[in-house]
Amino acid sequence: MSKLTCSMDRLGNSKKEVIKIEVNKIINAECKEYMKTLPNECVDLVIFDPPYFEIVDSDWDNQWQDKAEYIEFIKECILEGKRILKPTGTMYLWGAIGVNKGFALLDIVKWIHENKVLDIVNWITQRNTRIRATYKGFPQAREELIMCVKDRNKFIWNPAYTEIKNTRKDLQCNGKPRKNEFKRATDVWCDLAEASQSSKERFYYKNGERFKTVKSLKICDRIINASSNERDIVFIGFTGSGSEIVSCIKNNRNYLATEKSKRTIDEIIKPRIVEVLHE
């Protein structure tokens, strides 16, 4: 762990105070409750990868009585995330369309937009190679990523590129020659596969149980590199297997991360941190 000294407003008062924040640590806590201990406008990037609500057959994705209770929980997380986010910051929220589950994500996005909680810049669709086909109709093969900012004119942005060569020879829409060697990443991510298809990104508990919802390291790299700069602070709620932490370490970002499951922290996240630090 390390400490960063920042001049910031803890309670929304006009008077600023110097606060030391310990960074590069994983906290065994509910992210919503831990964020309440942080001062205002202290992080550069917030990444939420919460349970999607009754998508995965695990207790952690089925802990709410109904959709309304789940949505209220996510709203509280978003509001705390907004409070700790700097004016130049960005928030990413993962989710799923949730066919037959009440479309919770659509309701959350509508709430963000209609109440001007944040400015929605992109609705990104991640195309997965693994499909879900448990009912009649076209199988599901997508995840959703909502990109929101506090100020559309000030947020940090480093253009993201795919690994696909740009072979076009015509001029750009501005009439100038194309200079990019690789194609720009758009709001449909077809070039990055989810982690479940890579044996290198499958992680197991000590009893042999597989962690079901690992985020691809390349996907985390794209988000973190596009929306933060080196030495910035990234807040990671719902850390899961720790892919965002690994990406922060590899890309020279500071992080604050929360995870409710101590077992996951001890058996999956901490070993991954040790491994990447010794590469």
Instruction: Say if residue 7's pLDDT is above 70.
Output: no
Local confidence band at 21 (pLDDT 50, 70, 90 cut-offs): confident
Instruction: Say if residue 13's pLDDT is above 60.
Output: no
pLDDT of residue 9: 47
Tokens of 58: 């695990």
Percentage of the chain lying above the pLDDT 90 cut: 58
pLDDT of residue 120: 98
pLDDT of residue 117: 98
Across the chain, mean pLDDT equals 87
- pLDDT (average), residues 133-139: 75
Instruction: Say if residue 132's pLDDT is above 90.
Output: no
Angle at 224 between CA 221 and CA 225, to 5 degrees: 80
Q: Write the pLDDT tens digit of every residue in 142-174.
A: 889 999 999 999 999 999 999 888 877 676 677
- pLDDT (average), residues 38-51: 95
Q: Which of 5-14, 187-196, 247-256, 262-271 has the lowest mean pLDDT?
A: 5-14
pLDDT of residue 95: 87
Tally of structural domains, the chain: 1
- For residue 151, being part of any structural domain is answered with yes
Domain that residue 44 falls in = 20-161+193-277
The β-bridge partners of 234 are 45, 255
- For residue 222, being part of any structural domain is answered with yes
CATH value at residue 131: 3.40.50.150
- For residue 211, being part of any structural domain is answered with yes
Q: Write the pLDDT tens digit of every residue in 87-123.
A: 999 999 998 876 656 688 999 999 999 999 999 999 9
pLDDT of residue 146: 97
Instruction: Say if residue 53's pLDDT is above 60.
Output: yes
pLDDT of residue 34: 96
The β-bridge partners of 95 are 144
- pLDDT (average), residues 258-273: 95
Three-state SS annotation for 38-104: CCCCCEEEEEECCCCCCCCCCHHHCCCCCHHHHHHHHHHHHHHHHHHEEEEEEEEEEECCCCCCCCH
Instruction: Say if residue 125's pLDDT is above 80.
Output: yes
**How distant, in Å, are the alpha carbons of 204, 226, 263 from that of 279?**
20, 24, 24
Residue 119 per-residue DSSP state:
E
Give burial (CB, 10 Å; 0-12/13-18/19+) of 156: middle
Identify the three-state secondary structure at position 271. Answer: helix
- For residue 187, being part of any structural domain is answered with no
- For residue 231, being part of any structural domain is answered with yes
Q: Write the pLDDT tens digit of every residue in 214-259.
A: 889 999 999 999 999 999 999 999 999 999 999 999 999 999 999 9
Residue type for position 136: K
Q: Of 182, 268, 232, 279, which is closest to residue 24 (Cα–Cα)?
A: 232
- For residue 246, being part of any structural domain is answered with yes
Instruction: Say if residue 17's pLDDT is above 80.
Output: no
Q: 65-72 long-range CB contacts below 8 Å, 24 or more apart?
A: 67/101, 67/102, 67/104, 67/107, 70/104, 71/104, 71/107, 71/108, 71/111
**Torsion angle of alpha carbons 96, 102, 104, 108, nearest 10°?**
130
Write the Ramachandran bin of 151: left for phi over 0, alpha for psi from -120 to 50, otherwise beta.
beta
**How distant, in Å, are the alpha carbons of 62, 238, 243, 264 from that of 67?**
10, 19, 28, 26
Angle at 267 between CA 193 and CA 34, to 5 degrees: 85
Residue 116's CB is within 10 A of a number of other CB atoms, namely 7
Residue 150 per-residue DSSP state:
S
- For residue 168, being part of any structural domain is answered with no
- For residue 265, being part of any structural domain is answered with yes
- pLDDT (average), residues 83-88: 98
Percentage of the chain lying above the pLDDT 70 cut: 83
